[in-house]
Amino acid sequence: LADEKCKFYACEAANNIVSTGMYCIDDSGINIGIHSIGTLPEYRGHGYAASVVLQIIAEAEKMNIPLITLQASPYGEPVYSGLGFKKYTMIHSYAKVFLS
């Protein structure tokens, strides 16, 4: 990534990239946002996403950044709660669909 405030991670198994994720540090420097955590369906439930998130947590600790935030799908929620994240709010998504 070209932005030095962002870093991308990939987790490999069986010579394949099976899980990915990234973080971006906000402009205040007090929050790391975790984004785009994903694991191939056949590799879910084996700790690959948790491994990526744990690397990001370690980076935040090294940089003395006190806050880590993310948005989770129902699939990811058990991973994040197992790593100590707490649910604070629900985010509502809106869409405008144009049918052709």
pLDDT tens-digit map of 5-40: 999 999 999 899 999 999 999 999 999 999 999 999
Q: Which residues face 19 on adjacent strands?
A: 11, 39
Contacts 24+ apart (CB under 8 A), 78-83: 79/37, 79/49, 79/50, 79/53, 80/53, 82/50, 83/50, 83/53, 83/54, 83/57
pLDDT tens-digit map of 74-87: 888 899 999 999 99
Q: pTM score, two decimals?
A: 0.85
Picking from 91, 47, 51, the residue whose alpha carbon sits closest to that of residue 69 is 91
